Structure 1
Amino acid sequence: MSQIITVSRPAPGIGVISINRPEKRNALNESAWDALARGFSELTDDREVRVIVLTGVPGAFCAGDDIGAFAEASKDPVTRERYWNTITRCYAALSDASVPVIAAIDGPCVGGGMTLALRADFRLVGRRALFSVPPAKLGLVYPADSTARLAALVGAQAARYMIYTAASLDAAEAVATGLAWGDIAEDPVAEALSLAAKIADKAPLTVTAARTVLNRLATQLPEGLADEIAALTRKAEDSDDYVEGVSAFKAKRAPVFTGR
């Protein structure tokens, strides 16, 4: 698949997608997003695969998008649109998978990584798991369907807190809020594979139907909201605040936002 994204089938009915870019805490550039999307499509198209496990390297799940790479791509409108379309295609490949997806999380799960995890059916956590929704630190807008999924899992008040403050939840807080399934695991990948085995021998049509219904219920948005959020997203991406947010991130300093 690629040096960063690998696909394996360790047991009957189970596919595993691994992200391996530890030097960037598994942040993904455009080619990695594309490879991840193709990984989901490959396993979804394999009729022998009934469950997908998504994981990273020990100590890092996915730190989201490679902010520096996206900022560079954003200098050209055509390149930015292609890059963003690659990311959204990856999200769609996960969301539209006909089989359940289990995220095994040990380390940072941030931004786009959080967006991936929210589209999984289960999130199993190790002690180093850390969840964060950072758009408020960058001057960007969190996707509407991701906001809806987050609120459905942790409740509206906790979702507001995470998005408004960009604060992180550790593994214990993720379990307490319902963001994570089960208890903190010593080996979340092993726990994910164990759960996957319990699903893989069940009736696939039943599981697929349930996944479809539950996903629709979690992301039903009022009419017109998608267009409104799209306009706000474009406004944010073209703002001075976004330029400031990226500059502050690169300089490792606190941003100063003006609302323009």
Structure 2
Amino acid sequence: MPENLKVTRDDAVAVLTIDRSEKRNALTAGMWAALPGVLAGLADDPAVRVLVVTGAGPSFCAGADIGDLLGGPDSGDPMAQLRRDNLAAQAALRDFPRPTIAMVRGHCIGGGVELATCCDLRFTDPTGVFGVTPARVGIVFTPTSVRQLVQLVGPATARYLLYSGELLDAENALRTGLVDRLLPAGDLAGEVRRFAEVLASRSALTQRAAKEVVAALADGRDDEAVQALAARWYRETAASGELAEGVAAFTERRPPRFPWRP
């Protein structure tokens, strides 16, 4: 496990903490490169039902460490390797097979926004500050990062953020759709934990199917392909016993013991 990426587990909930608080959890090139492996290990653990991503101390993540931006060997494209590692980390988080929640305090800037938007849900408290800042340093956000942003906030707000590098406070991040929940000060960790436990108690099959279908629709896959994807999951609800257990539990007024495991 890389020194600045910490994983803790509490029952079915895993927490991945970016732990470089003296730099507002800015990610070094090595941390970007290590993230896919860390996430793969968590994805391979069937006991992990929900993943929470957060930062140590008062910040979530201030983005990539600016000292690494020009560190590549190719003077014509010094960010080439960093960009590849960044995209691989985003893909690993975006494709994580179980629900993911970004728990954001303080600064969520640049690469921090990239990580947060790759999570399924984003919760913050009043300290949250969000910025997409490539225009401040003269770099270009990758199409993958721009698409994730546009899907959440729409083209107009994406342009506003990308053109200006202006920061959004937590209330405006909620208003624009960049975050899903704004919690009172002191309530963030407790509510994220409560909601993660709710997710862990639900049907993992339903969640996996929903995640794949939402991603397919967001990526613009044609209707026939989405229908085929959904049909495969419909068949699995019966074949796995997931639907039968859900109906039985509802009828018997007891918590379900869903049998399907990813």
Using the TM superposition, give the Cα deviation of residue 157 of structure 1 relative to its aligned residue in structure 2, in angstroms. Answer: 1.4
Distance, in Å, in 2 between the alignment partners of 1:214 and 1:70 is: 33
Map 1:1-260 onto structure 2 (within 5 A).
1-10=1-10, 12-73=11-72, 80-186=79-185, 187-220=187-220
**Conserved 8 A contact 1:29-1:70:** no
1:118 is displaced (CA, Å) by: 0.6
Change (3 A) 1:27 1:215: same
* Greater gyration radius: 2
Cα distance, 1:75 vs structure 2: 5.2
After TM superposition, the structure 1 stretch with the greater mean CA deviation from structure 2, 99-108 or 211-220, is 211-220
1:156 partner letter: P
Deviations 1:121-155 (A, max 9, x none): 11100221111111111222212232222222222
Instruction: Measure the CA separation in 2 of the matches of 1:219 and 1:189.
Output: 32
Q: Is the 1:124–1:191 Cα contact (8 Å) retained in structure 2?
A: no
Q: Which amino acid aligns with 1:116?
A: L
| TM-score, structure 1 normalization | 0.79
Write the distance in 2 (CA, Å) between the matches of 1:166 and 1:189. 28
The superposition leaves residues 73-96 of structure 1 with CA deviations (integer Å, 9 ceiling, x where unpaired) of 355579743333222211111011
- AA matched with 1:89: A
Which structure 1 segments of 5+ residues have no match?
A: 222-260
Q: Give the match's secondary structure for 2:182.
A: coil
Residues 201 and 181 of structure 1, relative CA distance in 2, 3 Å threshold: same
TM value normalised by structure 2: 0.78
Q: Distance in 2 between matches of 1:2 and 1:145?
A: 25
Give the fraction of aligned pairs with identical amino acids, expressed as a percent: 36
Say if 2:4 and 2:31, in contact at 8 Å, map to a contact too. yes
- Which stretch has the larger CA shift, 172-181 or 185-194? 185-194
Compared with structure 1, are the counterparts of its residues 80 and 166 closer, same or farther at alpha carbon in structure 2 (3 Å cutoff)?
A: closer
> Which amino acid in 2 is paired with 1:217?
L
The higher-RCO structure (CA 8 Å, 6+ apart) is 1
Q: CA RMSD in A?
A: 2.1
Instruction: Tell me, yes or no, if the aligned pair for 2:70 and 2:78 is still in contact at 8 Å.
Output: no
Deviation of the 1:163 alpha carbon: 1.0
**C-alpha distance in structure 1 between counterparts of 2:99 and 2:220, whole Å:** 19
Aligned length: 221
Say whether the 8 Å CA contact 1:51–1:99 is kept in structure 2.
yes
Within 2, Cα distance between the matches of 1:76 and 1:206?
A: 48
d(CA) in 2 for partners of 1:189, 1:56: 12
Give the Cα separation in 2 of the matches to 1:185 and 1:161. 27
**Does the 8 Å contact 1:185/1:191 carry over to 2?**
no
SS in 1 for 2:147: helix
| One-letter identity of the residue aligned with 2:209 | A
Answer yes or no: is the 8 Å Cα contact 1:171–1:184 preserved in 2.
Answer: no
Unaligned runs of 5+ in 2: 222-262
SS of match in other structure, 2:168: strand
Looking at structure 2, the residues matched to 30 and 133 of structure 1 have their Cα atoms a distance apart, in angstroms, of 19
Whole-angstrom CA distance in 1 between matches of 2:35 and 2:189: 18
Deviation digits for residues 89-110 of structure 1 (CA, Å, limit 9, x no counterpart): 1111101111111000001111
Structure 1 residue 220, shift from structure 2 partner: 3.7
Equivalent in the alignment of 2:230: none
